[in-house]
A and B are shown apart, each in its own frame.
With several copies, the nearest count.
Chain A
Amino acid sequence: MSEITKVDIITRPSKIEDLKVALNEIGITGMTFSNVLGCGLQKGKTEYYRGTEYSIDLLPKARLEIVVCEVPVDLVVETAKKVLRTGEIGDGKIFIYPVQSVIKIRTGEEGVKAL
């Protein structure tokens, strides 16, 4: 049995549509998206609200999680990089985690078959 891995991509929300299409093209169908707030190298900015200065430190980011097995992780990472890289701060990061097992609730299938 080949290893199962989770690829966790944190990036700009506006890129999510393109990313989804690109991943569909390499055969990935199951994906889970969520909204997060990030702080990293990209800095927020300072604004005024009713005369009071305040800074926006956390930026809205989108997270995409994909658990893969047969599709090689490298391909996923390469695809994501291709779509997401602008060269400017805020492109985001990819984290890769080990997965022990997957179960498809509807069928009860486990492991690779469940993906």
Chain B
Amino acid sequence: MDDIKIVMDTIWVLFATALVFFMQAGFAMVETGFTRAKNAGNIIMKNLMDFSVGSLMFWVIGYGLMYGADSFGGLVGKPGFFFSGDYTSLIFQTVFCATAATIVSGSMAERTKFISYLCYSFCISVFIYPIAGHWIWGGGWLSSLSIGGATGFVDFAGSTVVHFVGGMCALVGAAIIGPRIGKYTKEGKSNAIPGHSITLGALGVFILWFGWFGFNPGSQLAASSLDDAYAIGKIFVTTNLAAAVAALVTMIITWIRYKKPDVSMTLNGALAGLVAITAGCAAVSPVGAALIGAIAGTVIVFGIEFVDKVLKIDDPVGAIGVHGICGAVGTLLVGLFSESTGLLYGHGVGQLAIQAIGVLAVGAWVLTTAFVVFKLIDKTIGLRVSKEEELIGLDLEEHGMESYADFELRGIQVR
């Protein structure tokens, strides 16, 4: 009987693993669709390689750091190399790590050297992600933090562990590498650089949404008791509602602000909802989920504009807004909307405080380490391709090929 339960848990987690893996295809399509045709193959290659490097390195060392016996007062797990043991857990965690890693390729797209991107990938899989992960999921200090009656940072499926970590790396990387040529005028006005395939971008969003039905419900890590069954059913609902409402709200806001409903921003809106609900998907009610979606759908529009127009950081696909900002927002909102510990349900500010501390701590960790990593890469091998290479396109210059060899591309771009 207990055996059966273990098998059922395993089936569930592996089902979820496959779906989360498939999110790699979603990221690849979103990132390539939202950027230019001349860099399409390069983005693909970066997505493929961060997954490959991540899979390898997380097995070699990352998983141990994240889930090894707690040491140094909750700061890091005791690493072992070449993990062998609970393979189901290993593979499930591997695809989560790879998700965090792949977020950056979007924000640094169209100008980052391929070799430098590989170095970054190595670093996030080897220590940036595993250590943040250890704090929250690996039994580290955040998982046992206790304030005002509430205990433990709540990040059910990784709004912070995965998305906020990835989003902060994306922020640091994009800030250090600087904007694409032509993105800002001399006066600092932002220019539009349209993506080359909204259909592929949209396909990517649908794939990601699909994958999220592994990401969130899979994080229950079990499907063998009545409670599990109830929980995973509810998580499907909260996940879906948040995404749907976020997309709707983003569409409405862009319609008002820009006169027309913006397609690519609305696609980002759906992802914003998904990222935001990830932390609280198990803790909030459907109504809470809808509200979280509505907030995320609002935040994303202003967030992306803020990054683009105020910070003047060039993030071609909106990765910082979607994963960074909405990852943080979603995590914080657990402190409001959690049915068992949230402020709005009369449980005081304890949970909210823990959530805030967690976000700040992880933010500080990632900003610092990512800054060091990207600066080091920049000073040594260099982060950015040459101006000439950027103009011609990374496909030809970095990989010697064209992604769309049979199609006439627009050489002339007047704006």
Judging by beta carbons under 8 Å apart, are A16 and B401 in contact?
no
B190 touches A (CB below 8 Å): yes
Which residues from chain B sit less than 8 Å from chain A, CB to CB? Answer: 190-192, 194, 254, 257-260, 262, 264-265, 268, 301, 304-305, 308-309, 318, 391, 396, 400-401, 408-415
- Render A36-56 as a binary contact track against B, CB cut-off 8 A, 1 for contact: 010000000001111111111
CB-nearest residue of chain B to A18: B414
Docked-complex contact A51 and B308, CB < 8 angstroms: yes
Contact B412 A13 (CB under 8 A): yes
Nearest residue, chain A, Cβ from B301: A51
- Point out the residues of chain B lying under 8 angstroms from A47, CB to CB: 260, 396, 400-401
Bound complex: CA A20 to CA B415 (Å): 10
Partner of A16, one of B262, B268, B412: B412
Q: Which of chain A's residues have a CB closer than 8 A to the CB of B190? A: 52
Q: Indicate if the CB atoms of A58 and B304 lie closer than 8 Å.
A: no
Expressed in whole angstroms, the Cα–Cα distance for A53 and B401 within the complex equals 11
Interface status of A72 (Cβ within 8 A of chain B):
no
Does A17 sit within 8 A of B, measured CB to CB? yes
Partner of A35, one of B309, B391, B400, B410: B410
A30, CB-defined interface residue at 8 Å: no
* Closest B residue by C-beta to A47: B400
Set of chain A residues within 8 Å of B309, measured between Cβ atoms: 51-52
Q: Are A51 and B262 within 8 A (Cβ)?
A: yes
Q: Which residues of B contact A16 (CB under 8 A)?
A: 412-414
Q: How far is it, in angstroms, between the C-alpha of A57 and the C-alpha of B413 when the chains are bound?
A: 10
Give residues of chain A (45-78) contacting chain B, Cβ–Cβ below 8 Å.
47-58, 60-62
Check if B262 sits within 8 Å of A13, measured CB to CB: no
Knowing A14-B391, A54-B191, A54-B192, say if A49 contacts B264 (CB, 8 Å).
Answer: yes
Interface size on A, residues (CB 8 A): 23
| A102–B295 CA distance with the chains assembled, in angstroms | 59
Neighbouring B residues of A17 by C-beta, 8 Å: 413-415
Q: Is the CB of A49 within 8 A of B192?
A: yes
A contact residues around B396 at 8 Å (CB) = 47, 56
Check A50/B318 contact, CB under 8 A, given A55-B415, A57-B414, A57-B415: yes
Let me know if A54 and B415 touch, CB within 8 A: yes
- Report Cα–Cα, A6/B408, bound state, in Å: 25
Determine the chain B residues whose CB is within 8 A of the CB of A50 once the complex forms.
192, 262, 264-265, 268, 304, 308, 318
Query: What are the residues of chain A within 8 A of B415 when measuring CB–CB?
Result: 17, 54-55, 57
Report the Cα distance A20→B72, complex, angstroms.
Answer: 63
Report the Cα distance A109→B213, complex, angstroms.
Answer: 65
Q: How far is the CB of A61 from chain B (nearest CB, A)?
A: 7
Instruction: State the CA gap A50–B408 with chains docked (Å).
Output: 22
Cβ distance A48 to chain B, nearest Cβ, rounded Å: 4
Say whether A58 contacts B414, CB under 8 Å: yes
From A20, A52, A58, A60, B308 is in contact (CB under 8 Å) with A52
With contacts A51-B258, A51-B305 known, what are 19 further pairs, Cβ within 8 A? Answer: A16-B414, A17-B413, A33-B412, A35-B412, A37-B414, A47-B260, A48-B258, A48-B262, A49-B192, A49-B262, A49-B264, A50-B192, A50-B262, A52-B192, A52-B309, A53-B192, A54-B415, A60-B409, A60-B411
| In the complex, chain B residues whose CB is within 8 Å of the CB of A52 | 190-192, 308-309
Q: Which residues of the other chain, B, contact A14 by a CB distance below 8 angstroms? A: 391
Beta-carbon contact of B304 and A51 below 8 Å: yes
Given A53-B192, A54-B191, A54-B192, residue A48 in contact with residue B260 (CB < 8 A): yes
Instruction: Report the minimal beta-carbon distance from A103 to chain B, rounded to whole angstroms.
Output: 21
Cα of A55 to Cα of B413 in the assembled complex, Å = 11
Kindly state the separation between the CA atoms of A42 and B173 in the bound complex, as whole angstroms.
Answer: 35
Q: Distance (Å) between the CB of B160 and the closest chain A CB?
A: 25
A49 to B191, CA, bound (A): 9
Enumerate chain A residues within 8 angstroms of B318, measured Cβ to Cβ. Answer: 50
CA distance A92 to B259 in the complex (A): 30
